[in-house]
Amino acid sequence: MLSFEPSPELDALITRVKAFMSEVVFPLEREIAQRPFLACEPELAAVRERVKAEGLWAPQVPKEYGGLGLDFRQHATLSEELGRSPLGHYLFGCQAPDAGNMEILHLFGTAAQKQEWLVPLARGEFRSCFSMTEPDLAGSNPTWLATTARREGDEYVIDGRKWFTTAADGARVAIVMAVTNPDAAHYARASMILVPTSTPGFRQVRKISVMGEEGSGWASHSEIAYEGCRVPVSNRLGDEGAGFMIAQERLGPGRIHHCMRWIGICERSFDLMCDRVAKRELSPGRPLGTRQMVQDWVAESRAEIDAARLLVQHAAWKIDRVGSHEARTEVSCIKFYVAGVLQRVLDRALQAHGALGMTDDTPIASFFRHERAARIYDGPDEVHKASVARRILRGYGLEVGSVGKG
Ligand SMILES: Cc1cc2nc3c(=O)[nH]c(=O)nc-3n(C[C@H](O)[C@H](O)[C@H](O)COP(=O)(O)OP(=O)(O)OC[C@H]3O[C@@H](n4cnc5c(N)ncnc54)[C@H](O)[C@@H]3O)c2cc1C
């Protein structure tokens, strides 16, 4: 049965996380936003230690690796609370891209890979990144890559260029998608390979300025050149040619978590908007919230956020019942629908704050800058809409091919 009632244990956990967010995390936001993130990482490490001491660290990581071992629906619920702050997931050890990397290391890593990479990643001892998208080929077609990993004896030699490798700045290891089997079918050409960033030939070309902000450390996106990077064949994750399949595995439940994080951002922005319109007076005794146009923002936002959450919970429930593959229509629907709700709610919250909305005195402007990308990463809206429509229309006898074929 589809139930929205969290268990008493999850409820208690959420209460504790909420308290930590209000008492410790929200007050940190403004100061951290004004300094380079990389410079703040040592200071944030102390807060992460507090999270560990409180027994709240790495909610999605299995207990054997030091996490709370929540299942993915429980973690999705928690993700909404953490999403209320840009720092939430980072401080609790479940930030992208590390969370997804840990997941695939757990599912596909060898015992040695788990020992070398998963154990310290789960403890938050260093960071990782995921290097798939290339500047010269459409990332919307993930089976089309120019980066190659040529086999020479017991080594792969990797050559290519990637960009938007999130959090590469200061990361210890990259998981790279590279073509190992150029003559195989389009979905079986690439493999995932662990490349320590200290490997000769790994070169961070630049941090890419995004919406006027270059960022640093975890909060940045880099262009990376792989120039004759040599790593042992034993650094391959999973089978040769299984890279695309593993990427799909990484993205399915990952999209549920992104969506719940976005709902957290919506709720925080909604809260700030309501507080502002209840207090900001247009003239004595007449706050903004007395205007019907503003009431429309409040009502539309409430309905859209609640609809988005229900849709995500339903998709999560379906994944639990029939698996990610069978639930791909639902997962694609939430990816574009919730990203759209996020843009609209953020826009209304920013508008309601007037000039203050454009400043970094509230987190809204930062959310606005960074989360425009929600409609692009993990599959742009158009790709998800096309794949939903293709599957529906197939039921009506219309076969439409996808761009990835051939
Ligand atoms: C903030 C951010 C973080 C990212 N982090 C990572 C990361 O850590 N690692 C990584 O490897 N990549 C990362 N990416 C890259 C991301 O995965 C790609 O940007 C995404 O896959 C889209 O690829 P593209 O940018 O090449 O756009 P393109 O493929 O060139 O597409 C451009 C636009 O065309 C439209 N379009 C695409 N396909 C279709 C279609 N079939 N029908 C109609 N319209 C279509 C869409 O509107 C799309 O936005 C990140 C991107 C951003 C913005």
**CATH number of the domain bearing residue 56:** 1.10.540.10
What sign has the CA pseudo-torsion 387, 301, 20, 311?
negative
Ligand 1 centroid vs 369 CA: distance in angstroms? 17
| 225 and 332 part of one domain | no
User: Is residue 225 domain-resident?
Assistant: yes
Q: Is residue 111 part of a domain?
A: no
Domain shared by 52 and 181, yes or no: no
Q: Which amino acid is at 70?
A: L
**170 and 213 co-located in one domain:** yes
Residues 336 and 358 in one domain: yes
Q: What is the CATH number of the domain that holds 154?
A: 2.40.110.10
Domain encompassing residue 84: 8-95
- Helix, strand, or coil (residue 159): strand
Confirm whether 233 is domain-assigned.
yes
Compute the distance from residue 285 Cα to the ligand 1 centre, in Å.
Answer: 48
State in Å: Cα 278 to ligand 1 middle. Answer: 39
Spatial distance between the Cα atoms of 210 and 191, rounded to a whole number of angstroms: 29
Collapse the DSSP code of 148 into the 3-class scheme (helix H, G, I; strand E, B; otherwise coil) and give the result.
strand
Nearest-CA neighbor of 276 among 366, 371, 370, 350?
A: 350
Residues 198 and 179 occupy one common structural domain = yes
Amino acid in the structure at residue 274: C
Mean pLDDT of 226-231: 98
For residue 134, which atom of ligand 1 is closest to its CA?
A: 26
Inform me whether the pLDDT recorded for 3 exceeds 80: no
Give the single-character DSSP code of 52: H
- Cα angle value 190/204/381 (rounded, 5°): 55
CB 305 within 8 A of CB 267: yes
Mean predicted confidence (pLDDT) in 222-235? 98
383 and 252 in a common domain:
yes
Reduced to 3 states, what is the DSSP secondary structure of residue 220? Answer: strand
- Mark which of 194, 216, 239 sits at the end of a domain: 239
Task: Please give the pLDDT value at position 1.
Answer: 63
- Ligand 1 nearest-atom number relative to CA 379: 21
Percent of all residues in the chain with a pLDDT value above 90, rounded to a whole number? 91
If you take atom 41 of ligand 1, which residue's CA is the nearest one?
A: 383
Contact status, residue 264 vs residue 81, Cβ threshold 8 Å: yes
User: What is the arithmetic mean of pLDDT over 312-328?
Assistant: 90
Together in a domain, 390 and 251: yes
Residue type at position 186: H
Q: What is the pLDDT, as a whole number, of residue 2?
A: 67
pLDDT tens sequence across 79-127: 999 999 999 999 999 999 999 999 999 999 999 999 999 999 999 999 9
For residue range 115-153, list pLDDT tens digits in order: 999 999 999 999 999 999 999 999 999 999 999 999 999
Specify the pLDDT at position 335.
Answer: 97
pLDDT reading at 402 higher than 70: no
Handedness of CA 59, 65, 66, 70 (dihedral sign): positive
Q: Which residue minimizes the CA distance to atom 12 of ligand 1?
A: 133
Distance 375 CA to ligand 1 centre (A): 9
Rounded to whole angstroms, how far apart are CA atoms 37 and 76?
26
307 with 279, same domain? yes
Decide if 120 is inside a domain: no
**Cα→Cα distances 8→5, 11, 12, 13, 14, Å:** 9, 5, 6, 9, 10
Residue 3, domain member (yes or no): no
Which residues touch 210 (CB under 8 Å, ≥6 apart)?
221, 369, 370, 373
Q: How far is the CA of 25 from the centre of ligand 1 (A)?
A: 31
Domain membership of residue 196 (yes or no) is: yes
Where is the domain boundary, 70, 95, 120? 95
DSSP-derived 3-state class of residue 178: strand
Closest ligand 1 atom to the C-alpha of 138? 29
Which among 346, 366, 341, 365 is positioned nearest to 355, based on CA atoms?
Answer: 365
Query: How many Cβ atoms from other residues are within 10 Å of residue 233's Cβ?
Result: 16
Chain segment 5-32, per-residue pLDDT in tens: 789 999 999 999 999 999 999 999 999 9
Together in a domain, 272 and 330? yes
Average pLDDT estimate for 180-209: 97
User: What is the Cα–Cα distance from 317 to 54, expressed in whole angstroms?
Assistant: 30
For ligand 1, the distance from its centroid to the CA atom of residue 344, given in whole angstroms, is 21
Q: Which residue has the tokens 């339903």?
A: 314
* CATH number of the structural domain spanning residue 309: 1.20.140.10
373 shares its domain with 269? yes
What is the distance between the alpha carbons of residues 158 and 3, in angstroms, rounded to a whole number? Answer: 48
Ligand 1 pocket mutation pick from 250, 377, 405 by most atoms within 8 angstroms of CB: 377
DSSP reduced 3-state for 41 = helix
Given a cut of 50, whether residue 229 has pLDDT beyond it is yes
C-alpha 6/C-alpha 254 separation (Å) is 20
Integer Cα distance of 324 and 322 in angstroms: 7
Query: Does any domain span residue 100?
Result: no
**Domain end call among 213, 239, 265:** 239
- Cβ-contact 210, 217 below 8 angstroms: no
Residue type, 223: E
Please report the pLDDT score of residue 245 as a whole number. 93
Centre of ligand 1 from the C-alpha of residue 379, in Å: 6
Tell me the pLDDT tens digit for each residue of 158-172. Answer: 999 999 999 999 999
> Tokens 């073509």 belong to which residue?
179
pLDDT of 226: 98
Lowest mean pLDDT among 220-224, 259-263, 313-317: 313-317
Residue 97 CA: nearest ligand 1 atom is: 8
How many residues does the structure list for the chain?
A: 406
Question: Angle of helix 292-322 relative to helix 72-82, nearest 10 degrees?
Answer: 160
Give per-residue pLDDT as tens, 231-287. Answer: 999 999 999 999 999 998 777 788 998 999 999 999 999 999 999 999 999 999 999
Looking at ligand 1, which residue's alpha carbon is closest to its atom 35?
A: 382
pLDDT of residue 403: 56
Residue to substitute in 104, 129, 133, 366 for testing ligand 1 pocket (most ligand atoms within 8 angstroms of CB): 133
Query: Does some domain include residue 283?
Result: yes
| The token pair that represents 362 in the structure block | 């509230």
161 DSSP β-pair partners: 225
Centre of ligand 1 to C-alpha 345, Å, is 23
The answer to whether 64 touches 102, Cβ cutoff 8 Å, is no
Number of structural domains the chain divides into = 3
* Residue to mutate (ligand 1; options 98, 132, 134, 140; most atoms within 8 A of CB): 140
Tally: H helices and E strands in the chain: 14, 11
Task: Give the pLDDT of residue 324.
Answer: 84
Distance 134 CA to ligand 1 centre (A): 10
Ligand 1 surroundings by CB, under 6 angstroms: 97, 130-133, 138-140, 164-166, 221, 373, 376-377, 380, 382-383, 386, 403
Q: pLDDT tens, 36-77?
A: 999 999 999 999 999 999 999 999 999 999 999 998 889 999
Kindly state whether residues 212 and 279 are assigned to the same domain: no
Note whether 206 and 333 are same-domain residues: no
Q: Which atom of ligand 1 is nearest to the CA of 137?
A: 26
* Alpha carbon separation from 130 to 80, 100, 159, 298, 365 (Å, rounded): 23, 9, 16, 38, 26
